[in-house]
Homo-oligomer: A and B are copies of this chain.
Amino acid sequence: MESSPERRLTDQGRERKQQILDAATVLFASRGYQATRVADICAEAGVAKGLFYWYFDSKESLFADLIRSMRLQLRRTQGAAMDPSTDPVTRLRAGVEASVRFMVDHAAYFSLIESERTDESLRPVLSEGGEIYAADTQRVIVEAQRAGLIPDYADAQMLTLGVIGAVSHFCQFHRNGRTTMSVDELANFVAGWTVRAVGADDRITLGG
């Protein structure tokens, strides 16, 4: 459960750790969590198997590290995109677009997150940080509802889940080559899709 041994790492140490993280990222993304062996990761990273456990407590904890770091970046990116001076729907749209761009760029990580959901041992790790990432989205939806820009089809939480799910799903499709849209087109399409789905008047934001 715990991520990694608390160690003061030298510069070389940080580098080594990153090598291992990078190797794991590539392999997890292409083969999945289960099918990726610790031995593979070490081989890919060019380090001995024993060293893995100097930097990480376990394969699972490495995975958790990866997920956490990715979610954090996603949240930052999304947050940065939502200009507080704009109206909530515009912010929702901007957040979705930024999320799509980020997810597509880091498609490998996110397909992982989505795919390993029923792995019993990973469930805690995976469900852990979801809410944090969702918080910003939910906030704009609540604001939009208060401002009367979104009807009360459902409570904000449900709409938030829908938005996040849609972003993730469409990015998966893109990753799997099931659409030929460019990233820009995709971002725009998904933003439109979610804005309409939550019940905001599409034209308002388009015209804005």
Interface set of A (CB-CB < 8 Å, partner B): 31-35, 111-112, 114-121, 153-154, 157-158, 161-162, 165-166, 168-170, 172-173, 178-179, 181, 189, 192-194, 196-199, 202
Given contacts A119-B35, A196-B197, contact A161 B179 (CB under 8 A): yes
Query: A193 contacts which of B112, B162, B172 (Cβ < 8 Å)?
Result: B162
The smallest C-beta distance from A29 to any residue of chain B, in angstroms, reads: 8
**Distance between Cα atoms of A153 and B121 in the complex (Å):** 41
Do A189 and B115 touch (CB < 8 A)?
no
Do B116 and A114 touch (CB < 8 A)?
no
Given contacts A35-B120, A115-B118, contact A162 B157 (CB under 8 A): no
User: Interface residues of A: mostly helix, strand, loop or mixed?
Assistant: helix
Given contacts A153-B192, A197-B197, contact A118 B120 (CB under 8 A): no
Given contacts A189-B153, A196-B197, A197-B193, contact A169 B165 (CB under 8 A): yes
Q: Which B residue's beta carbon lies closest to that of A199?
A: B196
Do A165 and B166 touch (CB < 8 A)?
yes
Which residues of the other chain, B, contact A166 by a CB distance below 8 angstroms? 162, 165-166, 169, 197
**Distance between Cα atoms of A42 and B87 in the complex (Å):** 58
**Distance between Cα atoms of A196 and B161 in the complex (Å):** 16
**Distance between Cα atoms of A31 and B33 in the complex (Å):** 16
Which among A31, A118, A194 has the greatest number of chain B C-beta atoms within 10 A? Answer: A118
